[in-house]
Amino acid sequence: MDIAALIFPAVVAGFGVWIAAAIMWMFSGIHNKDVNPLPDEAGFLEHLKGQNLPAGQYMWPNCQDRKDVNSDAFKARWKAGPWGTLNIMSGQPNFLRNLIGSFILYTLIAFAIAAAIASVLNGVHGAEVLVTCTWCQVFTPSLILAAAGYMAAPLCMDLFMGKQVRFMITQSIDGLIYAGVTALVLTLMWPV
C-alpha cells in the first residue's frame, strides 16, 4: 500500500476530530464547569502581576533542589498546603494559531494511526497485496490507538498535576468521541 494514499483520509479524520472538538468545547456545554472562577480574580491578578513571573509552569509547594524534599521546612509547607499549579503564558492566547495547531495535531495523530495499521496489514497480507479491509482490520485498531492517544496520555499528566476528577472525566468523554471519529473516518476512507 502506498503510504501517500493515507494522507487524505488522515486529513479528513483530523478535520472530523477538529469539528468534534469545537462542538464539545463551544456548543455542548459539557465543559462549562470544568474550570472554576477565582473568588477574587481582580485581587489575585493584581498580586500575580507584582510577582513578575516569566512564562512557565509553576507548582507549589516546591523546592528547587531535590535534597530539600526531606528538609523540615519543605515537609511543613507540604503538609500545610495549599497545593497547586499555575501556567503563565508568554502572551495573549492566539485563538487562530491554536485552532490551526490543533487541526495539524489531530491530522498527524490520524496519519500515525493509519500508517501503523497499514504497516501491520502489509506485513500480514504482503506489500503488494491489497485486500478488502474489514471493520475489525481497520476500525478496531484505529479506535484503540486513538483512544490511547486522546484519553490515556492526557490522564497521566492530569493525575500528576492534580486536575479535578470532573475535568478528567469530560476530557475522557471527548477523547472517546475523537477516537470514534478517527476510527470511523479511517475505516470508511481506507484505500483498498
Length of the chain: 192
User: Which residue shows C-alpha cell 481506507?
Assistant: 190
Angstrom CA distances, 32 to 57, 140, 150, 159, stand at 24, 32, 20, 20
Q: What is the pLDDT of residues 47-106, one digit of tens each?
A: 999 999 999 999 899 988 888 888 999 999 999 989 988 899 999 999 999 999 999 999
Q: Is a pLDDT exceeding 60 seen at residue 130?
A: no
CA distance 88 to 135: 45
CA distance 56 to 87: 6
- The phi-psi region of residue 53 (left if phi > 0; otherwise alpha if psi is between -120 and 50; otherwise beta) is beta
Q: Is a pLDDT exceeding 90 seen at residue 183?
A: yes
The answer for residues whose C-beta is within 8 angstroms of residue 2's C-beta and 6 or more apart is 191
Sign of the torsion angle spanned by Cα atoms 122, 146, 143, 104: negative
Q: Of 112, 77, 104, 122, give the one whose Cα is nearest residue 186.
A: 112
Helix H segments across 52-164? 72-80, 95-125, 135-147, 153-161
Q: Is the peptide bond before 9 cis (omega within 30 degrees of 0)?
A: no
Domain ranges of the chain: 3-35+93-188
Question: Residue 11 — very low, low, confident or very high, per pLDDT cuts 50/70/90?
Answer: very high
Q: Is a pLDDT exceeding 90 seen at residue 192?
A: no
Q: Is a pLDDT exceeding 80 seen at residue 123?
A: no
Once rounded to an integer, what is the mean pLDDT over residues 129-156? 82
Neighbours of 151 (CB within 10 A): 18
Q: Is a pLDDT exceeding 50 seen at residue 189?
A: yes
| The pLDDT of residue 150 | 93
Q: What is the pLDDT of residues 32-62, one digit of tens each?
A: 888 889 999 999 999 999 999 999 999 899 9
Question: Residue 124 — very low, low, confident or very high, per pLDDT cuts 50/70/90?
Answer: low
